């Protein structure tokens, strides 16, 4: 496997470490700084919103100047965002903290293309494994993210969690250093007329459409339940260490399977592995509805993480069969904008649903999305169980 895949995996791990830290702490920081409890998840929702809005310009910019310059530019924004978030906590300024998470989310709009950059540095036969290995970088996040939140949260006595975000800021510096050693080829389309293919013509391709649907809904389910979990655990008198434990295992579930997901896809088929992912999301909902103990949360969030892994890696792999090289920037931009639109909506509604209707409604609310994923995948399996054999029509 190309060394650049491992460097991209390292960058992915640092990005997801900071994301895991935000998931663990941002709602708790929000509760401490916001004027109303319903605003507690707004910083995380704004992060997702910034990721959504950054996804299109990030892809188009990298299509013009290349992956590495784009990643470096995004990392500088993330570095500034971490510093702003740290200062906001020290100053007890909720809205400044929101600005910091927006800047971090903007960086994520660039960083989420690490998985697509991995495809650019390997042969076609290794695509699914390259995507998996980059996503496996998140295993580091499972260990570091929640633990940084716990270990460093009291390091600045007058401002709980400010120390956590100060450490997060330093990780952006490390990302920039790694990117300086990373090489991703930058190719321009040989036929410029193919760049003018309307996006809706690409979207109407069944492979592309199903990939977007599964990516959108799978990530939305994960986001909504994950974002509401710290609030639910706090409401039911679980400690911060318990919440960190659950989030740590959740993030581990999100990324540890990546070491084998590509192999499983090659052996059992892309659609079959995605169906298993959808089934695991359903098991997560069932686990959350059965009880409120630490181990109910643990089981549900672990299933949620593994289910997301199978669906997201599967959807990313499936998407690459739905566009040509000349359509890459446009198609990837549409996909990530769609996915993070759904994620943003999920994060925005998580706090409202949890505080207004309770934990059961959070879980019941995601069931229709899981059903849609099942229907889309079953339809795809009947139409073409091996989508990689499709030929793109221009």
Domain-embedded: residue 48: yes
Question: The dihedral of CA 90, 162, 250, 174: what is its sign?
Answer: positive
Q: Give the number of domains in the chain.
A: 1
Domain-embedded: residue 192: no
Domain-embedded: residue 105: yes
Domain-embedded: residue 378: yes
Domain-embedded: residue 313: yes
On whether the CB atoms of residues 1 and 23 are closer than 8 A, the answer is no
How sure is the predictor about 175, in pLDDT bands with cuts at 50, 70 and 90? Answer: very high
Rounded CA separation 278/255 (Å):
16
Domain-embedded: residue 190: no
Domain-embedded: residue 96: yes
Domain-embedded: residue 231: yes
Whole-structure pTM value: 0.77
pLDDT tens for 80-101 read 999 999 999 998 999 999 999 9
pLDDT tens for 39-84 read 777 888 788 889 889 988 998 899 888 899 999 999 999 999 999 9
How sure is the predictor about 394, in pLDDT bands with cuts at 50, 70 and 90? Answer: very low
Q: What is the CATH number of the domain that holds 42?
A: 1.20.1250.20
pLDDT tens for 335-381 read 989 988 888 788 778 878 887 888 888 899 899 999 999 999 999 88
Q: How many CA atoms lie within 13 A of 394 on its CB side?
A: 10
Rounded CA separation 80/87 (Å):
11
- What SS3 class is residue 388? helix
Structural domain span for residue 305: 3-183+199-389
Percent share of the chain, pLDDT over 90: 36
Question: The dihedral of CA 73, 78, 81, 87: what is its sign?
Answer: negative
Rounded CA separation 53/57 (Å):
8
């Amino acid at each position: 496997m190309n060394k650049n895949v491992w460097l991209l995996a390292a960058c992915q791990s640092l990005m997801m470490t900071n994301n895991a830290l935000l998931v663990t702490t941002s709602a708790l920081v929000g509760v401490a700084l916001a004027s109303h409890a319903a605003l507690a998840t707004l910083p995380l929702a704004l992060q997702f919103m910034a990721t959504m809005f950054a996804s299109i310009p990030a892809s188009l910019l990298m299509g013009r100047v290349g992956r590495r310059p784009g990643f470096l530019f995004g990392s500088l924004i993330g570095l500034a965002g971490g510093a702003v978030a740290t200062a906001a906590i020290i100053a007890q300024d909720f809205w400044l903290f929101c600005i910091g998470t927006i800047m971090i989310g903007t960086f994520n709009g660039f960083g989420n293309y690490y998985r697509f950059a991995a495809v650019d540095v390997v042969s076609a036969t290794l695509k699914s494994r390259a995507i998996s290995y980059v996503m496996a970088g998140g295993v580091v996040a499972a260990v570091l993210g929640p633990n940084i939140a716990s270990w460093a949260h009291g390091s600045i006595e007058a401002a709980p969690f400010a120390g956590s975000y100060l450490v997060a800021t330093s990780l952006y510096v490390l990302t920039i250093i790694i990117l300086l050693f990373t090489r991703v080829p930058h190719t321009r389309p040989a036929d410029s007329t193919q760049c003018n293919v309307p996006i809706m013509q690409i979207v109407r391709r069944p492979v592309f459409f199903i990939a977007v649907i599964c990516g959108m809904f799978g990530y939305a389910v994960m986001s909504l339940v994950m974002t509401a979990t710290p609030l639910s655990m706090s409401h039911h008198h679980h400690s911060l260490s318990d919440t960190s434990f659950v989030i740590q295992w959740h993030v581990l579930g999100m990324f540890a399977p990546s070491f084998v997901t590509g192999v499983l896809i090659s052996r059992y088929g892309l659609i079959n592995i995605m169906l298993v992912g959808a089934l695991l999301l359903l098991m997560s909902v069932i686990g959350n509805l059965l009880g409120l103990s630490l181990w109910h949360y643990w089981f549900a969030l672990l299933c949620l993480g593994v289910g997301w892994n199978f669906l997201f890696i599967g959807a990313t792999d499936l998407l690459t069969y739905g566009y040509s090289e000349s359509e890459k920037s446009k198609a990837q931009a549409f996909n990530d904008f769609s996915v993070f639109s759904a994620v943003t909506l999920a994060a925005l509604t998580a706090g409202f649903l949890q505080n207004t209707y309770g934990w059961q409604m959070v879980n019941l609310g995601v069931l229709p999305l899981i059903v849609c994923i099942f229907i889309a995948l079953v339809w795809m399996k009947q139409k073409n169980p091996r989508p990689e054999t499709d030929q793109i029509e221009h």
